Structure 1
């Protein structure tokens, strides 16, 4: 009788161990998927900026980066001294 109880406990602990391993595998899979999704989003943003720069060169004849740190209403916080009539509210 003791052997059957002992065997039942062993089987239960084995099943519990398998469930824990399965949950760890699912968590790891989710983390990997989220990691790759974040990389894909960053790549898309970089491509969008690259395309904006290429369009600016094609249409205007100069890169869009010449507008870095230009103006006060387009920058961080939208505050500062207006540089010309375009920046005035």
Structure 2
């Protein structure tokens, strides 16, 4: 059994709450040409894309993976996120005073 077949079967029977699907049909030209004389890029079947592509939009899973792989980088990211939220809250409160 080929790798693509195994991936497509795994994807069909995955336990994810929802399965992502591409937004364009197979064969749709995508304007991502890098070279002037290059062939136009066309969309593939969902099964032909790598499995990791469908996990990129799941922010919670990416954060959990980062937490397991590099805990200090995860903590820096969370600290920055908290600081941005704190600054936004302070700016909002300053506008309310005026």
Normalising by structure 1, what TM-score? 0.33
Say which structure is richer in helix.
1
Whichever structure has more strand as a proportion of its residues is 2
Greater CA radius of gyration, 1 or 2? 1
